[in-house]
């Protein structure tokens, strides 16, 4: 049952990272998936070392890294885990998954929209458009802004997962001044 334990708790993240870092290459994706078992055997030679887009896996970048889970030693467990990974749809059809991208920006923009649209209120067209435009301005200004620290918090729905959560810098909201200036310019056009 070791196989199940590993599969349930940690492998999901490995699959996700394997897809993210496969550079559109199905062979690379499969080799990354095969490497999951080696990672749990505490052999990190082929773990993701990082590229210009993503930081490397902690086992490759943190000198103080200690495996969080039991090292996989039992040959039967190794065989079962390997087979479990190779039986997944992602392993069998790597070409279908190499372009898997994360949904961070879609979700981030959706969050921005929700700050301006109360879903319990049916807005008229003008209100709806105005609020949408403001969400766009807000998002354009603040997406990818820097963070001051990262806190670790436990998820209530998945208590075994501890997620890093970025504490973002305060919003500048300069877009409000831009709206104001644009509005004032329509009332008092600049005299040439
Ligand atoms: Zn590793």
Per-residue pLDDT tens for 91-117? 999 999 998 877 788 889 999 999 999
For residues 90 and 9, membership in a common domain is answered with yes
Q: Are residues 6 and 68 in the same domain?
A: yes
Our measurement of the distance from residue 124's CA atom to the centroid of its chain's CA atoms, rounded to an integer in Å, reads 34
Listed in order, strand segments (DSSP E) in 46-154 are 147-154
* pTM confidence score: 0.55
Among 74, 96, 118, where does a domain finish? 96
131 and 65 both lie in a single domain = no
Q: Tell me if 20 sits within 8 A of 13, measured CB to CB.
A: no
Q: What residues have their beta carbon closer than 5 A to ion ligand 1?
A: 39, 44, 47, 59
Cα 166 to middle of ligand 1, angstroms = 24
Same domain, 86 and 143: no
Position 157 in a domain: yes
The answer to whether residue 86 is domain-embedded is yes
Q: What percent of the chain clears pLDDT 90, i.e. is strictly above it? A: 56
Average pLDDT over residues 9-35: 89
What residue numbers bound the domain in which 154 lies?
Answer: 104-187
In the chain, % of residues over pLDDT 70: 93
Cα of 39 to ligand 1 centre, how many Å? 4
In a domain, 192, yes or no: no
Count up the domains in the chain and report the number: 2
Tens digits of residue pLDDT in 156-165 = 777 766 777 8
pLDDT digits (tens, 9 = 90+) for 65-85: 888 777 889 999 999 999 999
């Amino acid at each position: 049952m070791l196989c199940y334990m590993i599969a349930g708790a940690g492998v999901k993240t490995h699959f996700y990272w394997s897809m993210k870092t496969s550079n559109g290459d199905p062979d690379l994706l499969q080799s990354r998936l095969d490497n999951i078992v080696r990672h749990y055997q505490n052999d990190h030679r082929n773990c993701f070392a990082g590229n210009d887009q993503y930081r490397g896996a902690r086992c490759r970048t943190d000198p103080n890294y200690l495996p969080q889970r039991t090292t996989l030693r039992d040959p039967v467990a190794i065989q079962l885990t390997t087979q479990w990974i190779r039986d997944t749809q992602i392993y069998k059809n790597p070409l279908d998954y190499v372009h898997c991208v994360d949904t961070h920006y879609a979700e981030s923009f959706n969050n921005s929209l929700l700050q301006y649209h109360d879903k319990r209120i049916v807005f008229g067209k003008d209100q709806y458009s105005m609020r949408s435009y403001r969400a766009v301005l807000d998002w354009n200004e603040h997406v990818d802004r820097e963070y001051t620290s990262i806190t670790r918090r436990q998820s209530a729905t998945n208590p075994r997962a501890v997620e890093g959560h970025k504490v973002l810098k305060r919003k500048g909201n300069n877009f409000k001044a831009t709206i104001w200036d644009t509005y004032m310019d329509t009332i008092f056009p600049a005299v040439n």
